[in-house]
Amino acid sequence: MDEKRIKLAESNFNRYLRDGLLKKESFEEVVYQTYLKNAEESLNVANEALKNKTSYLWVVVCSYYSMFYIASAYLYKKGYKAGQEIVHQVINEALIVLSKNDLEKHFLEEYEEEKDKALAASENLLKDYEFERIKRSRFQYETTEAIKEEKAKTSLERAKNFTAVIRNILEE
- The CATH number of the domain holding residue 83 is 1.20.120.330
Better pLDDT: 133 or 76: 76
The count of C-alpha atoms lying within 13 angstroms of the C-alpha of 153, restricted to the half-sphere facing its C-beta, is: 7
- In sequence order, which residues have a C-beta less than 8 Å from that of residue 133 and are 6 or more positions away? 64, 68, 88, 92
- The three-point CA angle 46-52-55 to 5° equals 60
The one-letter amino acid at 32 = Y
- In sequence order, which residues have a C-beta less than 8 Å from that of residue 114 and are 6 or more positions away? none
Is 102 in contact with 47 (CB distance < 8 Å)? Answer: no
> Is pLDDT above 70 for 140?
no
Host domain of residue 16: 3-171
Give how many domains the chain has, as a whole number.
1
Q: How far, CA to CA in Å, does 115 sit from each of 89, 104, 109, 145?
A: 30, 9, 9, 39
- What confidence category does residue 100 fall into, taking pLDDT thresholds of 50, 70 and 90? confident
- What confidence category does residue 42 fall into, taking pLDDT thresholds of 50, 70 and 90? very high
Q: How far, CA to CA in Å, does 171 sit from each of 74, 88, 106, 167?
A: 10, 24, 11, 6
- What pLDDT does residue 56 have? 92
